Amino acid sequence: MGDRLMHRANGRVTFDFTRLRRSAQLALAATIVALVVIAARSAEPQPQLPAWLPRALSDAGWVYLALAAFAGLAWLRRRLRRAKSGARVSPDPPV
């Protein structure tokens, strides 16, 4: 952990979060989001949503679905084209 702590010339101590494992970064991000949500809920227990927000979220969901379908079809088309040309088709790339 000592290599992640850096002492600056101005006396500040910084912490390099990019050197943490990905799982630790995600856990830290989820914790921060949870704290912000808890703070917001304690300040306003029953928030009033703007009238346009549910419709906007619904529309955004449909746009996301369309983009995901487009990306999936483009990937499938590329894969089929490579298979047809005789190029080696590798399994799904590692994530």
Of the pLDDT bands very low, low, confident and very high (cuts 50, 70, 90), residue 58 is very high
The whole-number average pLDDT for the span 64-84 is 94
Of the pLDDT bands very low, low, confident and very high (cuts 50, 70, 90), residue 5 is low
pLDDT for the residue 3: 62
43 phi/psi in degrees, rounded to 5? -75, -40
Answer yes or no: is pLDDT of 18 > 90. Answer: no
The span from the CA of 68 to the CA of 36, in Å, is 29
Diameter of the chain by CA atoms?
Answer: 62
The span from the CA of 10 to the CA of 13, in Å, is 9
